Structure 1
Amino acid sequence: MQLELEYNPSRIATVEDYRLTLKEAKKLLDCAADEDEEIIKGIISDLEYTIEWMSTGRRPGNKRGIERRAAYQNNRLFDPLIIQRYFRSEEPVFSWDQHQKEDIIHSWERDQLDCALSVLTDREKEIFLMNKGHCLQNTEIASLLGVSESNISSTIHHSEKKILNHISECLICSCR
């Protein structure tokens, strides 16, 4: 049996086309020679994978799609560039901070960030701004502050959760 498909580059293949091709490939498998069997099985596997992906709209094998991710997995608290501009537009507060003050942030952005950061303690705010504002790695922050890297990591995670909770309840923060 010969697999005959007409190739037309201007035509878009549909799921039904793939199903017909899968049916023909399965017929070919029944009468295929031993050396061709593995190749045809690979084709069948690829076709089944493609059909499932096209039918469900998500990658086969995934239990949940991107739209069902937890809130902390797909939400950013704020645009990182705005946080960096905020950090540069403040007077240096911490001893390790050596930047020049710049006025590059809008007043409403400043109000939003001030409100969001208001729920953090001074230590949490310092660590959070070192990580998000200055883009320092956890190891650098730990060595500057003389604490463990795991302490920095957990503080950043805890701070993000506090800010997320505050943003969901606060009118100023949620008006983006």
Structure 2
Amino acid sequence: MEDLLFEYKRTLKQTKKWYKQLETDEAALSAEELKDKKIIRTIITDLEYVTEWLEKGRQPGIRRAIDRRDAYQRMLIKDPRIIETYSQAMMFEPSGNITEEDRIRIREALALLTDREKEMLLLHKAECFSYERIAALLNVKKSTVQTTIKRALLKIQKQQEEKKQSPA
């Protein structure tokens, strides 16, 4: 597939060179050269279309493609072992540093977050995944992962500040 994409890109580059040769004043071009220029422009358009299709893996120009429509509805947890591992880690005290109060605070903080925020935050903080790896796992952009994790951390920070201000 990569060989095919390479060939299309190489052909596109050559075709653009031919088109530039015909980019002189149109009044100076013969009728045959004008026809050639139009055909070459069509070829360039087709090559760009195919190249984009091969690079993205879907039809170019479609904004609401089926793989994009359900972006916020699909199940984000790809591997149930991730959540299972995290829930077991909360119950297990490896060094005895986690108190019951800490467990309660963690559960309260996670309860504030949406499933999407929770999953990305757990993958980043508990599993130590990079933003790039999380983006690849969840099929989203790196900037989406960064924004979502930042939003989740701000929610948790805001909750903790509110708790400090109102003693109960």
User: Given the two structures, how large is their TM-score scaled by the length of structure 2?
Assistant: 0.43
**Larger relative helix fraction:** 2
